[in-house]
Structure 1
Amino acid sequence: MINARIEIDDLNESLNTKIPDGDYETLAGYLLVKIGHIPKINEQIEIDDYRFIVISASRRRIQHVKMIRVGTTNPKD
């Protein structure tokens, strides 16, 4: 499980991911920019090489997600 407030640079460095820079600083911001709404718990979001599963969220923010590289069976959590 990943705290969605993690900064993109830290996420890329710690998990060797390649999420691009953009108009966001955190994983939550990245997901919000990509899907345009606050996702519900258990909602799955596929972006490029990753599937994000929302583990916890409030009405106003994404809190925790599970991140899985698409095509593998090893979740990054």
Structure 2
Amino acid sequence: MVLWTTRYIDAAVAQLRAEGHEIRDEDVARLSPLKHKNLNVLGRYSFTATQPAGGTLRPLRDPDAAELDDEDGAED
């Protein structure tokens, strides 16, 4: 799960850079996949994929989409 989350963080940073956003390397160095609610370091995981991944990432979510969750409403 940590690797999966890390790959998506990398994809998000790459997309932001491609869109022209300034992303500083020192900020990227502080990113951690361990602060996301999809990680449960004390429990078990159950995976049910509706379709094999085929080695590709799913599309990133649109941050302006209404269905985007807000990490339990917590502000950092």
One fold, TM greater than 0.5?
Answer: no
- CA radius of gyration, larger in: 2
> Which of the pair has the greater relative contact order for Cα pairs under 8 Å at 6+ separation?
2
Task: Write 1 or 2 for the structure with the bigger share of helix.
Answer: 2
Task: Write 1 or 2 for the structure with the bigger share of strand.
Answer: 1
TM-score, L = length of structure 1: 0.27
